């Protein structure tokens, strides 16, 4: 995975940060791991808020709270709403294959950055209709824990978090399988919103 990241950076992509993957206990049990995995984010897969995405292949949309780490590379300096696009996860693959594919990651879009202590409640809307509501205590429950997971996973691989890195911390609700014509919007009460649209 880190070799793939290095290849992208060598081709001109810029580092953005990291992602949490396999955060659900059931997925971890199936894969035989005791904590989530960590993948990477670069500008090669960075989308603008409001972008239209062509569905050349099936994609799922994961709504997440992102954190930006502070100068100590451990504390949380700011929060952002984020929509991650992934390939439909295939948990029949082994951990090494999943990591080599960067945990199914394809792209990410961020909403506004705000220096806030907690994200507040969140809503996920598809075509203007609320699909999921996430209470504030759950939306912000594991942010610091997920930063520590990424820190540990990278340390195990001889890598580290850089001040200013953004980390998407895991899905807030079941992901949405994107269809042509869909508009998927994440609203985070104390931070702001981010939206992506999908075409054939």
HSE value, Cβ hemisphere, 13 Å, CA-based, for 54: 1
Q: Is pLDDT of 168 > 90? A: yes
At 94 the pLDDT is 93
Going by the DSSP 8-state scheme, the letter that residue 118 receives in this structure is: -
Mean pLDDT of 186-192: 98
**Would you say 34 and 28 are in contact if contact means Cβ atoms under 8 Å apart?**
yes
Q: Retrieve residue 140's tokens.
A: 């912000």
Closest CA to 22 of 89, 79, 87, 111: 89
Domains parsed from the chain with CATH numbers: 2-48+60-118+137-178 (3.90.850.10)
Q: Is pLDDT of 24 > 90? A: no
**In a 10 Å sphere around its CB, with 0-12 CB exposed, 13-18 middle and 19+ buried, how is residue 54 labelled?**
exposed
Q: Is pLDDT of 108 > 90? A: yes
**Would you say 57 and 49 are in contact if contact means Cβ atoms under 8 Å apart?**
no
DSSP string, 7-59: HHHHTT--EEEEEEE--SHHHHHHHT-SS-EEEEEEGGGEE-TT-EEE-SS--
User: What pTM did the predictor assign?
Assistant: 0.96
């Amino acid at each position: 995975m880190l070799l793939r990241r290095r290849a992208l950076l060598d081709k001109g992509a810029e580092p953005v940060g990291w992602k949490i993957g396999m955060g659900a206990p059931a997925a971890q049990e199936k894969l035989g791991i005791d904590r989530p995995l960590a993948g990477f984010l670069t500008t090669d897969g960075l989308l603008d808020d409001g972008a239209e995405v062509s569905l050349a292949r099936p994609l799922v949309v994961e709504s997440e709270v992102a954190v930006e780490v502070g100068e100590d590379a451990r504390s949380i300096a700011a929060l952002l709403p984020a929509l991650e696009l992934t390939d439909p996860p295939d948990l029949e693959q082994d951990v090494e294959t999943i990591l080599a594919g960067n945990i199914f990651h394809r792209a990410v879009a961020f909403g506004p950055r705000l220096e806030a202590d907690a994200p507040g409640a969140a809503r996920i809307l598809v075509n203007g209709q609320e699909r999921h509501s996430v209470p504030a205590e759950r939306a912000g429950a594991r942010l610091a824990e997920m930063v520590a997971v990424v820190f540990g996973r990278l340390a195990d691989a001889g890598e580290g978090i850089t001040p200013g890195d953004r980390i998407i911390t895991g899905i807030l609700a079941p992901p949405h399988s994107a269809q042509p014509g869909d508009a998927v919007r994440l609203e985070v009460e104390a931070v702001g919103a981010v939206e992506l649209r999908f075409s054939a």
